[in-house]
Structure 1
């Protein structure tokens, strides 16, 4: 699955990325083999792994990318690198990468490696890659010594590190594919309208039922002959004697406006039953100012604030009232 540098087609564009510590002879061998497969119409490029995120490559430039596939290497991939790979790959392009990972959790140990296989796979999925396959191979003690040398450890530190971390490191080899579409590509979606289901019958009438109780009423029997007479045009016209300037009294259910005009600013009072229907007493509805009170006998509710009877019980009009208390004493 991984490191298959011979599986190329003529005309393909391939990119290799690796740290500066790679073995030059190994890279030249892989490049020559790949160039022979792609032919004169293809191309093989190389980029330092740490500069991939800032490399000026155009979108959809490569058919295949090999990242950090030269051993030994302790370099790891950042999300920016993975995003750059997705952008520069053509639709359906392949990515192959290698990265050192942990085989188990380390307690009370400071390790330069913190990821596991599932962490690398999750990073590729979040970036947008599909068809991801991963295989992790345990690191031998000889390769682990090479790792510690790349990390800059001295001889005593390397020996101590190999003793403590033997069998706890591995190298994950991952292959992934870019989807068969480009970012921003548009597709027309077919949202076909579904036929609306037929409404369910709420109730039905059985016409074959012989029960007399279920017979429907004949609507023609509900109408009299007078109801069937079509009104004439003359009956729909306003009567000639219904004029706004006449002296005729407005009808009870007046709709021509006479009642509103008659009642504007005037209140009609039907005082007695003896007054004829056409006799109307007109009064001015403006309230008149009444001087004095004259209702002192009814009680405090009808007395002014300066009434001399304030606080006294109600009395009959004409009854002689004697004021007690301070009102019964002379001022002199």
Structure 2
């Protein structure tokens, strides 16, 4: 198994690398053949072939290590399904560990790694330092690879449980829901104020029109009365001798003039 231990420091403590290997469930003798790289740069390239490492362990005292360019290089040199562990050590206990973990997991996902998992942090209250670990893995497929998808021959079978209690949809409707909406009758003479009464009118509009004809007025003059002098609606005492509304009861301009049922009926 090919393994790379990487740090931005001058030295790489053996006990920290060993504990990181335990997290990845690696054998201790794997460290004998591991590559050790110190003073790694965030922006530098790694002098290794693509897909050549099974495991990469990154150890640093800096909260922003490794940066995105170095993570991209680590992704390049790792074999498909390889594992990576980022171990940040000797961080100040006052640093927000949640923010550090969130930023680190986001960088790992953006690089292309899968299933980032934060290891429970180790806090040394006496020394006032903490340790943060996050592990992830590279996808088992190579970039640019393709594979066929299994096609279904027909629809999948659906099993129906006969013991299941089904609800009658009609029982969910109330009596109000079952009532048919009342739509206006087509041809009703009340539809449209400018229409005349129907031939067989039963709503009373024909009788109203007959009263209007006797008065010598139009329906428009009754439905929307207007006045040039402004006094037509006050009553006969204020109307001119030629006023078309002479003889009608007082009304408000712009509102329909109401006529009583016996308005044109003889007094005797």
Normalised TM-score (structure 1): 0.36
Of structures 1 and 2, the larger Rg is shown by: 1
